[in-house]
Amino acid sequence: MISAGNDIVSFAEINPVRTTQPAFYKKFLTDIEVSQYQKLPGKLISFEHYVWLLWSAKEASFKHLQRFHPPLVFSPLKFVVTVDRAQKVDTLLDPDDIQPDTEYICYGQIIAAGAELSFESFLCSEYVHTVICDSMAAGKSHQGVRRIADPSPQHQSEKVREFCLEKLSRVKFEGKFDFIKSEHGVPSISDVQSGLTYPVSFSHHGQFVAYSFKM
């Protein structure tokens, strides 16, 4: 069974002073995760961004796993993240998607609920966006980030779905798609004609919305 998980954190929406205070980040980062920052090659990313990179990895993996385990509780300290490497990116990964000012890609793993997942995080001065990678599952991964004008929850929800539908129309030229939710609120893409469903993950924070799906 394939799944999808992504999460975005807008740096405009977080408190940078609080972020670097141990009383704050120790609520969701383990001592080992904190100490791993010192081992990151080249200190490419700030500690503030590192904290939110790990948060987004934990959130994205929670969304990925929740599809299989609906009663799963998001307990951040039980989602253990290791960042293997961070590298600077000079070109956009996918010219169809809007990923402005992408500066770094970070790769790593998360161990949680008896599973080990890989992730990729896209980090720039404005946000960090993490996507869970499931190389064992068939299909191609698709993801995107977009800036929106109105950050109200209803607008975020509408815009991220519109954005995802635009991508779907490019991936599959034919077909009518809809979004459905399980009884536990986990979203899927429904191909109305074929009846097939595909896992999708939505996220939004402030003026950014993002999605990931595999098809």
Partner 1 sequence: MTREEILAELKKVIAPYTTNKEMLAGIDERTDLIKDLKINSANLVDIIIDAEAKYDIEIDYDSADKMVNVGNCIDVISEKLTEKK
Minimal distance, residue 193 CB to partner 1, in Å: 31
Minimal distance, residue 24 CB to partner 1, in Å: 6
> Is position 9 an interface residue for partner 1 (rule: CB under 8 A)?
yes
Nearer Cβ to partner 1, position 62 or 198?
A: 62
Minimal distance, residue 73 CB to partner 1, in Å: 6
- Contacting partner 1 within 160-199 (CB under 8 A): 185
Cβ within 8 Å of residue 53, ≥6 positions away: 45, 83, 106, 121, 123, 128, 130
> How many other CB atoms are found less than 10 A from the CB of residue 5?
26
> Is position 116 an interface residue for partner 1 (rule: CB under 8 A)?
no
Please, is 112 exposed, middle or buried when counting C-beta atoms within 10 Å of its C-beta (0-12, 13-18, 19+)? buried
CA–CA dist 165, 173 (Å, integer): 11
Nearer Cβ to partner 1, position 198 or 211?
A: 211
Nearer Cβ to partner 1, position 3 or 56?
A: 56
Q: How many CA atoms lie within 13 A of 195 on its CB side?
A: 0
> How many other CB atoms are found less than 10 A from the CB of residue 88?
10
> Is position 22 an interface residue for partner 1 (rule: CB under 8 A)?
no
> Is position 115 an interface residue for partner 1 (rule: CB under 8 A)?
no
Cβ within 8 Å of residue 183, ≥6 positions away: none
Nearer Cβ to partner 1, position 161 or 167?
A: 161
CA–CA dist 184, 70 (Å, integer): 6
Using CB under 8 A, which of 59, 97, 120, 134 touches partner 1?
59
Binding-site ranges for partner 1 (CB under 8 A) = 9, 13-15, 18, 23-24, 27-28, 52, 55, 59, 73-75, 77, 152-153, 185, 205
